[in-house]
Structure 1
Amino acid sequence: MSSQMKILLMKTKGGMLDNLTGRQLRAGAEVLFANNARTQLDPELSTDDAEGDNCKPSKKNEKRKRNQRKQRKWGKHDLCNSLSHFPECDFSKYRDFSPYELLELFFDEDIFNMILAEIPIYAQFKNEPDPAVTKAELKVFIAVLILSGYNRLPGKRFYWDSGPDMRNEMVHAAIRRDRFIQIMKFLHFADNNAMDSRDKLWKLRPLIKKLQNKFVKHFVPVPRLSYDESMIAYYGPHGCKQFIKGKPIRFGYKVWSLNTPSGYLVNFDVYQGKNVQINEDYEKQFGKAVTPLIQMIDSFDDDTKNLPFSLYFDNLFTGMELLSYLKQEGYNGTGTIRESRVPKECTIMPCKDMKKLERGTFTYKCSDDGILVARWQDTGSVTVATTVHSVNPVGHRSWSPSTSKASVSKGRLPDSIRYDGKNHYIIQNLGNKRRRCAGEYCKSVGRTACSKCDVGLCDGKEDGERGGREERPSGVTRRPTSRRLGLIKTHFRSSRVFVKQQFLVSVYLKTLPHNATQYRR
């Protein structure tokens, strides 16, 4: 008996057991009844009873269980896996389809009928007359939306503008402007009376589900798939709008996407934080970012699900749990991995030590369950985890001198040196000493030289500590520098004609002479 406790059970007072912790309930106990009768409880029986009462383990216990999982053994050996046979991809079914026929595979009669059924319901909800939209008008409306994706104008009304630089004849001849705006006003995909407040995308959910099913239906299996996030630009107010710093599209909707190498979208899911469509068991095991991938794989039919796909992802998704799960399911996984997600028992060289080594150095470790972690030094340390690709054979690559660590050149060499056929390799002078540039027209004094020719060579900069500029013979011109370009732009801004003259300036700069002193004032 690990510990004993005395519990007084009163006939008139109940509920005292509810005040005990789970650890106390699972411990051995001695029970004292009201008639002074005593009895001892078996600890194992108490534990079973406690579990039968649905006592949830604490977060500390859950963390302890995760830490007690079978630890992998890592060694310095390579993977010996071979790719499983994948059936040949058959695209013959869609080979003779026109672009319009391919579009109709996804936007078919089912989707148009759904939209046409929801438009009068929404008009009634707004207490307005039915716009009586026909299927032909709806198709024209969708076509205008597609056209506006590559033929962009400041606003939707400009497609019917009378100006020759704005008006689009195809749009103007296909549908009237006011009719287009009216259809956009009543366009709807779900019934407002059946709102699901837990789903932020409930208004689009019927359309999303239909498109997801059609994407999976027309998917021709290929051996390699890529899973990543994509951004749909949007700057208005919405609960699903995300901001990702450093991305080409920083504001908008984040969409988890499963794609083929050719760009076909196999499946997708719009990120909205807490999502009722997400499998909670998957989310606890893999997290919010990886759960949509597992659910997308589950959405395949049995024949497709049994194929040995190779999945690729970046360090947002890669983890040991994901790679181990995919391997158990018969799939291959490869992706860059963050240093914090590499297990502690994997004694691979840390990134801070790799940065001190020469570019091109690599190291690797492989676990007993077939997960390889490789790390090599590029401009920074790169770590990759895989269950299919091996380290050998090792390829060889010659690093460009302009990007090598040994090179300090950050500018551009003069043309007289770049095209002399000697392939100069610029390094920093020993002791950081100055040497005069050996260029034909250059009089600068710098701290760099060519290691092949053992002569001083500058890196082509015009200003700085070298204190000189390249002199050219008469008649030799050069393109204007960024400094000249900025001065000319300032001149036009002060005259308030820069916007109108911007194109003329760009053409004029091509013939700007070297001694353009009149434009610097």
Structure 2
Amino acid sequence: MASVSSRLTPEALMDFEDSDIDLQSLADSTDSDAPGNLSSDSGSETDGDSINTHPEVIAARVWCPIDTTQAPPPPPRFPFTWDPGLKMECEHTPLAYLQLFFNEAVIEKIVVETNHYATQELAAPRGPFSRSRAWEPITKEDLWLFLGLNIPQGVVGKPLQKWYWSTNKIIATPFFSTVMSEYHFGLIMKYLHFSDNTTFDESTHPAPKLKKIWEVYQLVVENLRNTYVPDRDISVDESLMAYMGRLSWIQYIAERARFGVKSYLLCEAATGYIWNAILYTGKGTQFNPAFKDNGLATSSVLSLMEPLLNKGYCVTTDNIYSSTQLFEFLIKDKMDAYGTVRPNRQEMPTTFAKQKLKTRDIVAWHKGKIMALRWRDKKDVCALSTVHDPSSITTRTRGGKVIDKPQVILDYNHTMGGVDRADHGNNRKNTIKNTIKNL
């Protein structure tokens, strides 16, 4: 059965998956001793005593066990059809790279909305000593200076903002006063705005909970996608931006920043470049409407990858997202995928979570282009893949021990870290180190 599956192309498997084949008529037309005969002892998910049908149909629709001692070659990858790399020319300086994402459209939007909001607020009566009386409409140059001063404030930490302009010799940092006065900086901070409050309509807004930042956020994400094309291997995972304020959709993730705002990120595996992002706001999270009928995990991955479909990308996911349903969606759109999977996921082989293994044992099943694998290390490791077979590679552990490890697990460890690399770049210690290096 496995050898038959190995001869099928991805396009052939997709045709069988989409076709309206009458399995009973095929069963009547085939011999009972044909290689496609499945019995109740074969490990497949069947209700009758046996089914006779074409091997290709079985390979595309039914989980079949793989003989790991004589495994067939891995399924072919879909051809990668995009040209990866930077798509906009710029000087090789930190500011030039920043301006690729905070371009003229983003800066202009913030300047217009900030001045508009300040005008609205200043229409109300003010006291004779109100510092807001000194407000003057800001320009794009003012905003760049304001943003620039926020970066060293993250490096040189002080408990009060006004201390950055203090003339006390013990805590003085003269640089800030040479760029902008504390008075002007404070007023920009007070009236900084990204949206027009007067045009907000909750019934028509695509993401009401993000109304304050939605337009600017969309512009920045669009610039991320337009500036760079990621290489073939990408990864999808969640990230947490630390935040301890009052917000209805704050999440708790123990292994990351603990409390904060969660995002679903699509990153290039090799560099950690963030190519697409979706902010999680609870039940009202904005996913692509085309995938609204799927579960949260499947909808999040497909919404992030929608611009990359049918281009031959290979995405790595962890057990939160990996499922047979998701991988079948991706195959139909000429995308490959692999990653760890929870053994009790729906539509997995019937014996996938029940069979007991000894250390270093491997068992595997296939259904068309998808392979499900269980490997016993210190505990069971389960994986799904559309591009791997159950073969193993000799490798060395951190302790120096030589073991055989499945190729799919090695590749997963190599390509899953895209989002972790992006988070690593946001780490405070590394930000300080890199900032000082560039001064």
TM-score class normalised by the smaller sequence: 0.5 to 0.7
The Cα of 1:93 is off from its aligned counterpart by 5.3
Name the CA shift for 1:366/1:164 in 2 (closer, same or farther; >3 Å): farther
Rg (Cα) greater in structure: 1
What's the counterpart of residue 487 of structure 1? none
Q: Does 1:145 align with 2:150?
A: yes
What's the counterpart of residue 279 of structure 1? 288
Distance 2:235 2:159 in 1: 35
Q: Does 1:256 align with 2:264?
A: yes
Q: Does 1:297 align with 2:311?
A: no
What's the counterpart of residue 370 of structure 2? 371
2:318 partner letter: D
1:282 partner letter: F
Distance 1:273 1:333 in 2: 27
Name the CA shift for 1:375/1:124 in 2 (closer, same or farther; >3 Å): same
**3-state DSSP of counterpart to 2:118:** helix
Structure 2: state its 5+ residue gaps.
1-59, 124-132, 404-439
1:112 partner letter: I
2:156 partner letter: N
Name the CA shift for 1:276/1:230 in 2 (closer, same or farther; >3 Å): closer
**3-state DSSP of counterpart to 1:256:** strand
Name the CA shift for 1:344/1:328 in 2 (closer, same or farther; >3 Å): closer
Percentage of identical aligned residues: 24
Distance 2:187 2:179 in 1: 15
Name the CA shift for 1:291/1:343 in 2 (closer, same or farther; >3 Å): closer
Name the CA shift for 1:363/1:195 in 2 (closer, same or farther; >3 Å): same
Offset from partner CA, 1:230-262 (integer Å, 9 cap, x none): 000000001221122x22311110011111120
**3-state DSSP of counterpart to 2:344:** helix
Offset from partner CA, 1:74-119 (integer Å, 9 cap, x none): 2215553133443664448558532211111111111111111111
Superposition pairs for residues 9-88 of structure 1, below 5 Å? 72-76=62-66, 77-78=71-72, 80-86=74-80
Distance 2:195 2:64 in 1: 53
Superposition pairs for residues 492-503 of structure 1, below 5 Å? none
Corresponding residue to 1:199 among 199, 208, 223: 208
What's the counterpart of residue 224 of structure 1? 233
Distance 2:116 2:402 in 1: 63
How many residue pairs were aligned? 325
Distance 1:83 1:73 in 2: 20
Distance 1:92 1:114 in 2: 24
2:64 partner letter: W
Distance 2:90 2:374 in 1: 42
What's the counterpart of residue 417 of structure 2? none
What's the counterpart of residue 104 of structure 1? 99
Corresponding residue to 1:334 among 338, 342, 354: 338
**3-state DSSP of counterpart to 1:297:** helix
Q: Does 1:395 align with 2:394?
A: yes
Offset from partner CA, 1:275-300 (integer Å, 9 cap, x none): 36323451322x223323322322x3
**3-state DSSP of counterpart to 1:390:** coil
Structure with higher helix content: 2
Q: Quick check: 2:230–2:275 contact (8 Å CA) kept in 1?
A: no
**3-state DSSP of counterpart to 2:265:** strand
Name the CA shift for 1:399/1:142 in 2 (closer, same or farther; >3 Å): closer
**3-state DSSP of counterpart to 2:372:** strand
1:141 partner letter: F
Name the CA shift for 1:172/1:400 in 2 (closer, same or farther; >3 Å): same
What's the counterpart of residue 180 of structure 1? 185
Name the CA shift for 1:319/1:172 in 2 (closer, same or farther; >3 Å): same
**3-state DSSP of counterpart to 1:162:** coil
TM-score computed with the length of structure 1 as normaliser: 0.57
**3-state DSSP of counterpart to 1:339:** coil
What's the counterpart of residue 43 of structure 1? none
**3-state DSSP of counterpart to 1:253:** strand
Name the CA shift for 1:392/1:214 in 2 (closer, same or farther; >3 Å): same
What's the counterpart of residue 361 of structure 1? 361
1:99 partner letter: P
2:152 partner letter: L
**3-state DSSP of counterpart to 1:126:** helix
Q: Does 1:316 align with 2:320?
A: yes
Offset from partner CA, 1:337-360 (integer Å, 9 cap, x none): 112115353433637x23xx22x3
What's the counterpart of residue 195 of structure 2? 190
Distance 1:272 1:136 in 2: 33
Distance 2:381 2:388 in 1: 16
Distance 1:182 1:127 in 2: 12
What's the counterpart of residue 210 of structure 1? 219
Distance 1:289 1:82 in 2: 26
The Cα of 1:375 is off from its aligned counterpart by 1.4
Name the CA shift for 1:186/1:324 in 2 (closer, same or farther; >3 Å): same
2:105 partner letter: D
Q: Quick check: 1:228–1:257 contact (8 Å CA) kept in 2?
A: yes
Greater CA drift, 339-348 or 185-194: 339-348
Name the CA shift for 1:88/1:213 in 2 (closer, same or farther; >3 Å): closer
Q: Quick check: 2:292–2:299 contact (8 Å CA) kept in 1?
A: yes
Corresponding residue to 1:169 among 167, 171, 174: 174
Distance 2:384 2:213 in 1: 37
Offset from partner CA, 1:478-518 (integer Å, 9 cap, x none): xxxxxxxxxxxxxxxxxxxxxxxxxxxxxxxxxxxxxxxxx
Distance 2:342 2:257 in 1: 23
1:122 partner letter: Y
Q: Quick check: 1:227–1:312 contact (8 Å CA) kept in 2?
A: yes
Superposition pairs for residues 453-464 of structure 1, below 5 Å? none
What's the counterpart of residue 117 of structure 1? 112
**3-state DSSP of counterpart to 1:173:** helix
Distance 1:342 1:250 in 2: 30
Q: Quick check: 1:226–1:312 contact (8 Å CA) kept in 2?
A: yes
Offset from partner CA, 1:141-163 (integer Å, 9 cap, x none): 11122233333333323322335
Offset from partner CA, 1:347-387 (integer Å, 9 cap, x none): 33637x23xx22x33222111x2111111122221111111
Offset from partner CA, 1:157-202 (integer Å, 9 cap, x none): 3322335564333323211112111101100011111224361011
2:194 partner letter: F
The Cα of 1:131 is off from its aligned counterpart by 3.4
1:253 partner letter: V
The Cα of 1:325 is off from its aligned counterpart by 0.5
Superposed CA RMSD: 2.9
Structure 1: state its 5+ residue gaps.
1-69, 405-521
TM-score computed with the length of structure 2 as normaliser: 0.67
What's the counterpart of residue 467 of structure 1? none
